[in-house]
Amino acid sequence: MTLLELDDLSVTYRIASGEVPAVRGVSLKLESGAALGVAGESGSGKSTLAMALLRLLPRDARVGGRILLDGEDILTMKWGRMRAVRWAEASIVFQGAQHGLNPVQKIGDQIAEPLLVHNLAKPDQAGKRVAELLEQVGLPAWRARSYPHELSGGQRQRVMIAMALACSPRLIIADEPTTALDVMVQAQVLTLIKELIAERNISLIMISHDLSVLADVCGQLAVMYAGRVVEHGPSREVFHEAKHPYTRALAAAFPTVGDPVSRLAPKGLGGDPPDPMDLPTGCTFHPRCPVALEECATLDVGLWPAGDSRTAACVHVRAKEEAS
Ligand code: ADP
Ligand code: MG
């Protein structure tokens, strides 16, 4: 059963100097209980996509297309309904837990808040539920009385995960949940996320620039470049036999899970990702592409079938498809 369907989703920020097309026509599906990884370098539109899913974008963002959660379009929901969906049906874990927690409020009170707001616990029972949630993310119950600064980065990220789990949502969106953590802690938090979604049949959208992390946790992988999906398919296959030259560069950049050295710039890929306000013509990747043809400067081929339940947006993929 399909839980979430993005249909031609686009997000454009309107700023003083013009328009920033951050997400451009993304269509993706997520089955109930499945995990989808969204990869791409910084600036490719991943966080914009994540925020659009729960309508957390700033007011200057214009959103087009449809976001169907169980067939209901999030973009046209009334605010009351939207508030009910947040936390209770879908919740989000942000990059760098520091920003997600209130520094002057005790951990336990912060975890209890969504429970109380959604009437899922009476004030006198919330403490018990908070203790359970802390235990589920591997923290002792007494941590409820701590303030965020008394916790390590990994512990804070566990608290964020406890908050996301609090109202038993069916979908969790995790935006670079381990990027700010060191390698050992990153591996522990990834294991925790994997166990939790498997045990509870929660669907997951996990965002990272690190393809190896996503391939480890998610069954499906979508690779974004300049606001578009350029490759999509089963994650092991996408990771090990990428069809798009950009995916190949990302896979080569992150050969092992959480390698801190290769975190920043993909190896073997010169240049920077394009500025959305000044996108290259044709295939937006062509100026950096090692296998670009002359026509790539003017031709954007879009996604083509690239094997069993796979697609890729590359002229070489199209050529193979047309030859077969
Ligand atoms: P990622 O998460 O993949 O790094 P983002 O979604 O954060 O990418 O950003 C995509 C593009 O949108 C970038 O070019 C970024 O500068 C731009 N952008 C993000 N937020 C805003 C905003 N509030 N106003 C204008 N531009 C933005
Ligand atoms: Mg981001």
For residue 81, name the pLDDT band (cuts at 50, 70, 90). very high
pTM listed for this prediction: 0.93
Cβ atoms of residues 120 and 89 within 8 Å: no
Average pLDDT over residues 256-268: 52
Which residue's CA is the nearest one to ligand 1's atom 21? 13
Q: CATH 3.40.50.300 occupies which residues in the chain? A: 2-89+169-323
Which residue's CA is the nearest one to ligand 1's atom 10? 45
Condensed to tens digits (0 to 9), the pLDDT of residues 186-226 reads: 888 889 999 988 998 899 999 998 888 899 899 999 999 99
Q: How many CB atoms lie within 10 A of CB 316?
A: 19
The second-level CATH assignment, the architecture, of 2-89+169-323 is: 3-Layer(aba) Sandwich (3.40)
Range of lowest pLDDT (83-87, 129-133, 172-176):
83-87
Cβ atoms of residues 24 and 44 within 8 Å: no
pLDDT of res. 268: 61
Helices first, then strands: H and E counts in the chain: 11, 12
Task: Check pocket membership of 42 for ligand 1, CB cut-off 6 A.
Answer: yes
Average pLDDT over residues 276-289: 96
- Closest by CA position to 315, among listed 221, 230, 233, 248: 230
Q: Which atom of ligand 1 is nearest to the CA of 57?
A: 23
Task: Check pocket membership of 208 for ligand 1, CB cut-off 6 A.
Answer: no
Task: Check pocket membership of 47 for ligand 1, CB cut-off 6 A.
Answer: yes
Task: Check pocket membership of 20 for ligand 1, CB cut-off 6 A.
Answer: yes
Give the separation between CA 21 and CA 61, rounded to whole angstroms.
10
CA of 48 to the centre of ligand 2 (A): 7
CA of 45 to the centre of ligand 1 (A): 6
Task: Check pocket membership of 45 for ligand 1, CB cut-off 6 A.
Answer: yes
The identity of residue 277, as a single letter, is M
pLDDT of res. 40: 93
CA of 324 to the centre of ligand 2 (A): 38
Question: Is the pLDDT reported for residue 262 higher than 50?
Answer: no
Q: Tokens 């908070």 map to which residue? A: 130
Question: Is the pLDDT reported for residue 284 higher than 90?
Answer: yes
Mean of per-residue pLDDT scores for the chain: 91
pLDDT of res. 179: 81
Top pLDDT among 102 and 228 is at 228
